[in-house]
A = this chain, B = another copy of it.
């Protein structure tokens, strides 16, 4: 176990204290490390450069399409059960990044999943959906080069689910999703439909497709790749690829942001004062006393405030490196860092909320157009 400890002592602004867990993913689950591909990506995203996207499955076909200006697609979506938070912000930014690199972009409002998993009726989903789409547009998604749709109204994904159903054994479903009702398994099949729909004739046929996922979503991608292989003869599917990103810690130091824990996260639509208070109260990698911290430095690797910079609110890599160094050497104290973070976040959120207002009507119009 000395290896893991050794790694912790390596100075790496884009590392993480739990990197040994990510190493396990490479070895046990076959997620491939992204770093070896990084210098081949024509215009790598912030997440790629910072090793937030630390892994992938079979990214090469997408990479080749990017390099050779060939057709490819990006697919992701949102479960319309609430407002945009830092997790959905991350996937939205990944989709927009690939769209800007030339991908046909598909963004799914997973209202069937919201119903099967969370019992949210479609009518209620639709209200959140309009807001979610407005967020997506405010972040820069181009609807002219993309397709936004609701699962409940998109016959093609439902029909793919019916086709895929024959190949979905009970054992597989239980292994991935546990012992659940049939509706949830059906939602999983529909999600496989979402991922493979970009390759149907209606969308100009087979093409490399990248699905940016959090590491917790990887089993679903494996499942979809298996289905794509099973039905390759019928549809000529290219097996879908993924990029795999790390998951942000909760602001309160919990391992993961969670709706059940209000202080662990914020949405893009909370009042700036509330957001500021949550960041003020955040857990940090600081030492018990100022004196101690000045002497031996903080631990950015375990600090959610540092992650706010890394994952979302500091666009300049150099600035990240500075913050990391200043924290490590005890130059930057937690209070000061939190003040800067609050300023960055609140500026972003205010500006985003302004922009978003302009897109609400357009969002509703897009919802209507595809229903």
Contact = CB atoms under 8 A, between A and B. Distances in A.
Interface of A: 112, 115-116, 119, 152, 155, 158-159, 161-170, 173, 179-187, 189
Contacts of A162: 112, 115-116, 152, 158, 183, 186
A168 B183 contact: yes
B112 A166 contact: no
Given A115-B163, A167-B181, A170-B170, 16 more contacts: A112-B162, A119-B166, A152-B159, A152-B162, A161-B186, A162-B186, A165-B184, A165-B186, A166-B181, A166-B183, A169-B182, A170-B180, A182-B182, A182-B185, A182-B189, A186-B186
Contacts of A119: 166
A167 to B, nearest CB: 7
Most buried by B among A168, A170, A184: A170
Contacts of A185: 182, 185
A186 to B, nearest CB: 5
Nearest to A117: B166
8 contacts: A115-B162, A158-B162, A161-B186, A162-B183, A165-B182, A165-B186, A168-B183, A182-B182
Contact of A186 (B152, B170, B179, B182): B182
